[in-house]
Structure 1
Amino acid sequence: MSKVAVEEKGSKVIVEYMIQQNRPYSATDVYTNLHQEFGKTLVVKCLDSGVQSGQLKEKVIGKQKIYFANQDNFPKADEEALRNLDRLVVEQAEQLKAEQAELKNIDYHLKTLTSAQTTAQLKAKVTQLENEISELEARLNALKGTTKQVTPGDKKKAIESRDVCVSEWRKRKRMANEMINGILENCPKKKKDLLEEMGVETDEDHQVVIPN
């Protein structure tokens, strides 16, 4: 294809593209949008030619030149047509909002269904629970069948032993707190940091409480 033919084709394609898009573009935008079908120099030349023919207009913004379709060549829209377009935009926006809400609702139900257990999974769970119930019942029956009885004396000894342990627990905890508080009086560290550094674990760390 000759150079003249290429320029003629480029001028036609580029001007028609600008009119069809009806948006402002720089020469680089047009060059990129047309997938570099024409050289950038030719693109600039065709855009300038379109301006000279009155099909396009240009505007310099800073150091960049912007080209766009000559709006004088487009038919004028009457007021009624513009109002109809405005109503159509509002209707389309409302419809879009409704469809988005419906899509959100469908998506929620889909996630609920996909996260639900299948029939096979539920049957397996039932079998597992039945086996656990059988094991617990066997243990219960074994405990019910035992003949060993706790005598009042054994019960009293157990209570006394418990009371001694609890008393010692309170005593040692009080002594430990007094010692730690004494260290803290001359230590810039917080109590929590000091305990961590010393490797001391408290009842609160293990969520245990001294019995009454």
Structure 2
Amino acid sequence: MAEAKCLALLADTNKPYNVQGVADMLASQGFKKAQVEKALMALAEAGKISCKEFGKQKLFIPSQEGLPELDAAEKDAKLSRISQLQQSRKEFEAEISAQRKELAQLNSVLTVEELQAQIATRLQQVQEAETKLAAHRGGGIVAVSAEDVAAAEQRFATGLTAWERYRRMFRDIWDTVSENLEANQADVFEDMGVETDEAIGETLAAYQHLLPGRKKAKAC
């Protein structure tokens, strides 16, 4: 029964089908895909239809025996029609591609609500900038003079020099008294209450770089 239905479908339509295509066409008549596949393979083995494999896909082709052959004019007309349809398909595909691009561009355009939100944000930023500018023009912001900068740098340099000197002094003393010390240095410092640069996460070099033109004290 399944073989007869499959053979009739292929003969009536005179088109190649895969298993799923035939199963879809015969599903309304109660045939399952497994039945259809078994019937198509049996028809192919019996030579009633042809089976061509394209990778994992099998295509079942109805027999062309007994069908009238087209004369030259009919064949040329059908080939011309096929060429026209192929050209139309290319034009439709190009039109669809253009419409998809246009749709993507439209989707990327901000909505009215999004534009209004951006405008509000920009206006707020402008207002904040104008407020800062007005404060600066009105004397709300005090400019630092070159003399103030020089004085601050001098105080910083003095403190940095003291740091270098005291660090070197401590290191000289510590190297002497700890020469034969077997205990862990960090543990000893903790017991003695000694605060090191490393313990507070600071390094002398990081601050020395802030005054690159300064003559450094002798490194310890």
TM-score between both structures, scaled by the size of structure 2: 0.48
Q: Which has the larger radius of gyration?
A: 2
